[in-house]
Structure 1
Amino acid sequence: MNTQVWSDFLQQNWLVILIALIVLFVVLNLVKTMVKWAIAVIIVVALVVYSGVSLDQIKDVVNDVKTETVDTLKSEATNLMMKEAKEAKYTSDAAGNFTITTPNLELKGQKGKEKVEVSLRGVSLGEWKISDTVKSFIEESKNNTNVTAK
């Protein structure tokens, strides 16, 4: 959202906003039931609608923030793979499932599959395709640890 748009809106509609805030303050102080919260929500929604901000715009902003956050976490996890590869411990079982752990990362996968589950500090980052970085991380973790059956 553009701050200039908000600034222009506030300059053009300061009186409406001031009246809405005064009404909101009066309602919250005088009405002592659940009705006051309904009226407060109606006033806030009316201001948002009056400002021209649509629910689609709010949804787009939330999706953009979510995407940026996930991308940042994936980037951090990839950097940690490179930094913590020497500390990685590889374990596998007879079924071909493997787990690689470091102080901050955990990868779970199965031999022959093209995806692994990645967790960063206990928070799942979902399934990742096995890229060159992930392949080298897996190989280095195998070299660090004697492969043991669980």
Structure 2
Amino acid sequence: MRKMMDVQVWTEFLKQNWLVIVIALVVLLLVVNLVKTVVKWALVLVIAAFIVIYSGISLKDIGDAVSTVKDQAVEYSRNEVLNAMKNEAKDAKWVQNGDGTFTITTPNLEVTGTLGKDKVKVAFRGVSLGEWKMNDTLEAFVQEAQKHAK
């Protein structure tokens, strides 16, 4: 798989196409300064599309790069949350809700679920990260919070 962020590829592209890029930027500046309303932004999009097409980067390449970055960000966030669970388990506060669910809160985490179920909802620093399957770290976190509640 080609890496879009490969510096060598971009350097080579810039060396070979610097004149086209400079001309496109000048045209973009002229369009932005001279043309008003929706036509301006349509021209900007057309010029940007031309540069992307001319560069040989396909929409699939862009999509692959976005997917890769997204997957890396999700994995990093997941690891950050799991580390926070390990470090903050001793500070966890357990609340048994009236509807049979529980909520565990720490300074950075909120975990909501139902005992015996294999999924819990996780929020990190106020941002919902969706439902996660129970794993060893989550299970240990829940058990530690229960211990502190008694």
Q: Distance in 2 between matches of 1:127 and 1:77?
A: 13
User: How far, CA to CA, are the matches of 1:3 and 1:86 in structure 2?
Assistant: 44
**Matched residue, 2:83:** 79
In structure 2, C-alpha distance between the alignment counterparts of 1:22 and 1:76, rounded to whole Å:
44
* Counterpart position of 1:131: 135
Aligned to 1:29: 33
Q: Which moved more, 1:22-31 or 1:94-103?
A: 22-31
How far 1:76 sits from its partner (Å)?
0.9
- Ranges in structure 2 where 5+ consecutive residues have no aligned partner: none
1:66 maps to 70
Query: Does residue 113 in structure 1 map to residue 107 in structure 2?
Result: no
Tell me whether 1:56 sits opposite 2:53 in the alignment: no
1:43 matched residue in structure 2: 47
Question: Which of structures 1 and 2 has the bigger CA Rg?
Answer: 1
Pair 1:89 & 2:106 matched = no
SS of residue paired to 2:71: helix
Greater relative contact order: 1 or 2 (C-alpha under 8 angstroms, separation 6 or more)?
A: 1
Query: How far apart are the structure 2 equivalents of 1:82 and 1:121?
Result: 15
Q: Deviations over 1:31-77 (max 9, x none)?
A: 23432221121111101110011111111111111111111111111
- Give the number of aligned pairs: 146
Which runs of no fewer than 5 residues in structure 1 stay unpaired?
none
- TM-score when normalising by structure 1: 0.89
Segments ≥4 residues shifted beyond 4 Å: none
Q: Deviations over 1:73-120 (max 9, x none)?
A: 111111111111111111113543111111111111112211111110
Partner AA of 1:85 in structure 2:
A
TM-score by length of 2: 0.89
Which of 88, 96, 102 is the matching residue for 1:98?
102
Q: Is the 8 A contact 2:97 2:103 kept in 1?
A: no
State the identity %. 53
Amino acid at match of 2:10: W
Q: CA deviation at 1:13?
A: 1.5
Is the partner of 2:132 in helix, strand or coil? strand
Distance 1:39 1:59 in 2: 23
RMSD across aligned positions (CA): 1.5
